[in-house]
């Protein structure tokens, strides 16, 4: 087995491990094709289990890694163990000996079960086992009293263990369990006093317990894609804000009187009201349908085809990206309103969440957004050596992920120097804050390890506007005055992945735009004084009168102009969201 071959006497030495040992490093990252080739040849070098000072270990993106040895128990100082995007079929029981472990990420593997010994990890606060074939969670998780986030999405789980509802999990704030086969959610979910985010979309639920409304801190829920018995509730979970859904549950649902706080006389009154409702059912149903149609009509995405546009947008793809990051889809989005209140902040927060979830912390795909008015067309998607890839200003892909812009007094800087500078900043930040790993923009730097060429999007004037999966140009960043966006999604996984991420982003943009429109927040200025921003800030015809978005197609072509992909096509944006209307 590739993950286990090699022993202390015969295994070939690995320079990465030798260097970590000689420098007494606390952090070691092994990932990508070069490491995978070594594992395929001689297995994971067992000397890695002698690095007892490590508090952060990552071995990822290595399809030849199928097992981890029991000697992992030697790394008793580990606080973060990242084993994502490999082919692991098991997790050793010895992982239970890692008493200092706070983060365990074994997502995107071939796991079918988790060891019961996970319950011994008393310091564990983040557990990510998404994208596996796991059929059930181990019992005893209630003993992991510091658990804050659990991601079990895209597995084969049919039920939650009873102790996952334990009041002992008083710090558990996020449960992501989408795309499983979960058939029931217990009313004991209300025991989770810190629960803020709950995602059970695309499961097999038929009911949502009314007790869910008793979770005091619940802010965001997602039950889309479940076939609920209460069809009114099903419509709501596919389109309404969390507060509306919780209010509906708190009132006891369609028939009222179902909440646990109501007494017998109230139930009798509810029964009489139910009889009265039956006598006028047809009239009320018709009125309700009219109200729902009116509500649905306010959330519209209109697709503008290339042939319908006076100016067709085109992105050329250079052949060099084939071996680096080959897949890209793009579109233009018009009608977004970022001026009122916290609209821009909400958008950036949603983008970060998509990066963390559907984009797999940018390992699966990366989203980049630009102010359309600040671009010079046509664009080129290319891959270039870091020494020749230059820019004069950078900002993170989402502004709220902490900005480390390098301007060098307006002098250009090549990306090799940029990455070197960011690595230095990351190390300094970690030392100052006494952390075991880095945060913000710095946590994505390892995604470029081992790459000879870096992917980039270049405009017609030769400016690098995007450097996926790390950062975007400061010149084209979004502002409150931005009303038209150019959006790109790149991936090394597949073209369909790019489309799925873009679909999710546009649906989220439609939801946010509708929320902004409905809440009528005060319009705030971002203080921009450049000409493009002033022009964008001028009131457009029909502004603030509709939440409708217009998505304009962008053509992706090769260097000879042959069409590779256009987004959105007829098969894209086929969302199941009931209150989203796509006009083609």
pLDDT tens sequence across 472-515: 788 888 899 999 999 999 988 888 889 889 999 998 999 898 88
Residues with Cβ within 8 Å of residue 224, at least 6 apart in sequence:
201, 202, 237, 238, 576, 577
- Is the pLDDT score of 573 beyond 60? yes
pLDDT digits (tens, 9 = 90+) for 429-454: 666 665 555 444 445 555 555 567 88
Residues with Cβ within 8 Å of residue 37, at least 6 apart in sequence:
64
Indicate the Cα dihedral angle 493, 498, 501, 503, nearest 10°: -150
For the segment 267-288, the average pLDDT, to the nearest whole number, is 52
Beta bridge partners of 471: 396, 467
Q: Which residue has the tokens 């239970």?
A: 96
pLDDT digits (tens, 9 = 90+) for 105-129: 999 999 999 999 999 999 999 999 9
The pLDDT value given to residue 121:
95
End-to-end CA distance of the chain: 52
Q: Specify the pTM.
A: 0.52
Within a 10 A sphere around the Cβ of 336, how many other Cβ atoms?
Answer: 23
Report H helices in 404-494. Answer: 415-433
Residues with Cβ within 8 Å of residue 444, at least 6 apart in sequence:
361, 362, 469, 470
* Measured distance CA(257)–CA(475) in Å, rounded: 57
Task: Single out the residue of 288, 457, 494, 472 nearest to residue 377, CA to CA.
Answer: 457
For the segment 7-15, the average pLDDT, to the nearest whole number, is 65
* Lowest mean pLDDT across 362-376, 402-416, 455-469: 402-416
Residue 389's pLDDT band, with cuts at 50, 70 and 90, is: low
For the segment 292-303, the average pLDDT, to the nearest whole number, is 59
* Measured distance CA(118)–CA(114) in Å, rounded: 8
Quote the distance between the C-alpha of residue 215 and its chain's center.
24
Cβ proximity of 136 and 157 under 8 Å: yes
Residue 390's pLDDT band, with cuts at 50, 70 and 90, is: low
- Is the pLDDT score of 270 beyond 90? no
The pLDDT value given to residue 309:
57
For the segment 310-334, the average pLDDT, to the nearest whole number, is 89
pLDDT digits (tens, 9 = 90+) for 125-161: 999 999 999 999 998 999 999 999 999 999 999 999 9
Task: Single out the residue of 170, 244, 246 nearest to residue 208, CA to CA.
Answer: 246
Mutual orientation of helices 264-279 and 281-296 as an angle, nearest 10°?
90
Helix (H, G, I), strand (E, B) or coil at 1: coil
* Lowest mean pLDDT across 277-291, 300-314, 365-379: 277-291
The pLDDT value given to residue 557:
93
As a whole number, the mean pLDDT across the chain is: 79
Cβ proximity of 74 and 51 under 8 Å: no
* Measured distance CA(454)–CA(456) in Å, rounded: 6
The pLDDT value given to residue 6:
42
> CA dist 82 to 15, 27, 243, 541, Å?
20, 11, 35, 51
How many percent of the chain have pLDDT more than 70? Answer: 73
* Measured distance CA(581)–CA(575) in Å, rounded: 9
Who wins on pLDDT, 312 or 539?
312
Cβ proximity of 81 and 98 under 8 Å: yes
* Measured distance CA(141)–CA(161) in Å, rounded: 9
- Is the pLDDT score of 71 beyond 80? yes
């Amino acid at each position: 087995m590739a993950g286990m071959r090699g022993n202390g006497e015969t295994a070939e030495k690995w320079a990465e491990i030798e260097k970590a040992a000689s420098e007494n490093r606390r952090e070691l990252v092994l990932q990508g094709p070069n490491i995978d080739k070594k594992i395929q040849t001689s297995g994971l070098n067992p000397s890695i289990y002698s690095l007892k000072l490590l508090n952060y270990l990552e071995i990822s993106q290595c399809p030849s890694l199928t097992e981890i040895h029991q000697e992992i128990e030697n790394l008793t100082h580990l606080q973060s163990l990242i084993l994502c995007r490999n082919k692991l079929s098991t997790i050793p029981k010895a992982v239970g000996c890692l008493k200092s472990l706070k983060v365990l990420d074994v997502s995107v593997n071939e796991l079918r079960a988790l060891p019961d010994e996970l319950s011994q990890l008393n310091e564990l606060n983040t557990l990510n086992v998404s994208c596996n074939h796991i059929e059930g969670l181990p019992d005893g998780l209630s003993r992991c009293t510091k658990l804050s986030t659990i991601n079990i999405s895209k597995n084969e789980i049919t039920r939650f263990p009873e102790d996952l509802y334990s009041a002992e999990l008083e710090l558990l704030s996020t449960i992501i369990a989408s795309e499983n086969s979960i058939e029931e959610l217990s009313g004991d979910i209300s025991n989770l006093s810190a629960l803020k985010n709950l995602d059970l979309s695309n499961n097999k639920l038929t009911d949502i317990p009314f007790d869910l409304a008793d979770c005091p801190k619940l802010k965001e829920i997602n039950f889309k894609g479940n076939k609920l018995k209460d069809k009114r509730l099903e419509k709501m979970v596919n389109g309404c804000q969390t507060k509306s859904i919780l209010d509906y549950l708190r009132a006891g649902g369609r028939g009222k009187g179902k909440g646990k706080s109501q007494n017998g006389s109230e139930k009798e009154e509810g029964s009489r009201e139910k009889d009265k409702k039956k006598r006028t059912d047809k009239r009320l149903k018709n009125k309700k349908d009219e109200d729902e149609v009116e509500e649905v009509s306010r959330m519209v995405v209109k697709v503008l085809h290339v042939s319908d546009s006076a100016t067709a947008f085109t992105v050329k793809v250079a052949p060099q990206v084939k071996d680096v990051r080959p897949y890209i889809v793009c579109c233009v989005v018009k009608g977004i309103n970022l001026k009122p209140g916290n609209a821009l902040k909400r958008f950036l927060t949603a983008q970060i969440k998509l990066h963390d979830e559907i984009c797999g912390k940018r390992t699966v795909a990366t989203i980049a957004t630009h102010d359309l008015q600040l671009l010079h067309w046509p664009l080129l998607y290319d891959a270039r050596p870091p020494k020749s890839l230059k820019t004069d200003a950078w900002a993170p892909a989402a502004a709220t992920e902490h900005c480390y812009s390098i301007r060098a007094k307006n002098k250009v800087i090549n990306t090799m120097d940029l990455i070197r500078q960011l690595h230095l900043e990351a190390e300094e930040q970690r030392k100052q804050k006494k952390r075991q790993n880095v945060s913000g923009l710095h946590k994505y730097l390892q995604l470029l390890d081992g790459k000879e060429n870096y992917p980039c999007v270049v405009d017609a004037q030769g400016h690098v506007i995007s450097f996926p999966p790390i950062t975007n140009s400061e010149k084209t960043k979004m502002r409150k005055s931005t009303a038209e966006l150019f959006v790109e999604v790149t991936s090394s996984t597949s073209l369909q992945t790019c489309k799925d991420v873009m679909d999710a982003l546009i649906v989220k943009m439609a939801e946010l735009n509708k929320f902004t429109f409905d809440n009528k927040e005060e319009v705030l200025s971002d203080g921009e004084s450049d000409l493009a921003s002033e022009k964008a800030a001028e009131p457009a015809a029909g502004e603030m009168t509709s939440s409708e978005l217009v998505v304009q197609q962008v053509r992706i072509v090769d260097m000879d102009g042959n069409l590779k992909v256009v987004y959105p096509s007829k098969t894209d944006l086929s969302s199941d969201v009931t209150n989203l209307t796509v006009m083609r």
